[in-house]
Amino acid sequence: MSRLTIEQAIATLAGDLATHSSDVLFHLKNEAADQLTAAKAKADHVDRAIEIKFADRAHGLRLEAGKDTGVVHFDDGRVRITADLPKKVDWDQSKLAEITRRIAANGDDPAQYVEISYRVSETKFGAWPESLKSAFVQARTLKTGRPSFRLALIQE
């Protein structure tokens, strides 16, 4: 079996690469995954060092600006640092539901204050009787994600 290197694979059109055996593709996929894991570990390590170096300075600048989150900019030597601490807000769904019920009970429209969305678990939908499914099917659109394939060597 002729082994193809990752560098050779990258230089090969995907259509041509697809003509190789599953065994060759399996090895290429594993080698690429190993390289990706190693590169991610390296990038994470450097990112952690950058965070250690600049976190306090960015925090101080946010405090000066009177904010807990967001973007601050500063220079360190010849390097311009943009430090972003994004805001991530979680809302307690049961408490929001109670609040929207109270708003509606007072005669106001909750949609003026909150975004309301509905979701149906696909697992639950699949278990419903056809009579219930038929009422919901017109509101359901099925979309597919990107296909994926896992390759595994069969042990002989």
Is 28 inside a domain boundary? Answer: yes
* Whether residues 103 and 54 fall in one domain: no
Amino acid in position 58:
A
pLDDT per position as a tens digit, 101-138:
999 999 999 999 999 888 999 999 999 999 999 999 99
pLDDT value at position 10? 95
* Whether residues 104 and 47 fall in one domain: no
pLDDT value at position 37? 98
Is 26 inside a domain boundary? Answer: yes
Is 15 inside a domain boundary? Answer: yes
Is 149 inside a domain boundary? Answer: no
* Whether residues 128 and 73 fall in one domain: no
pLDDT value at position 129? 96
| Domain span holding position 100 | 93-139
Is 51 inside a domain boundary? Answer: yes
Compute CA 135 distance to the chain's CA centroid, rounded to the nearest angstrom: 32
pLDDT value at position 2? 62
Is 1 inside a domain boundary? Answer: no
φ/ψ of residue 20, rounded to 5: -75, 165
* Whether residues 37 and 53 fall in one domain: yes
* Whether residues 105 and 41 fall in one domain: no
Number of structural domains the chain divides into: 2
Helix (H) or strand (E) holding 126: helix 122-127
Compute CA 129 distance to the chain's CA centroid, rounded to the nearest angstrom: 34
Is 151 inside a domain boundary? Answer: no
* Whether residues 63 and 114 fall in one domain: no
Judged against a pLDDT cut of 90, whether residue 151 lies above it is answered with no
pLDDT per position as a tens digit, 35-61:
999 999 999 999 999 999 999 999 999
Whole-angstrom distance, CA of residue 83 vs CA of residue 105:
45
**Is 0.85 topped by the overall pTM?**
no
pLDDT per position as a tens digit, 73-109:
999 999 999 999 999 999 999 999 999 999 999 999 9
Greatest Cα pair distance, the chain, in angstroms, is 75
- 3-class DSSP string for 45-87: HHHHHHHHHHHHHHHHHHHHCCCCCEEEEEEECCEEEEEEECC
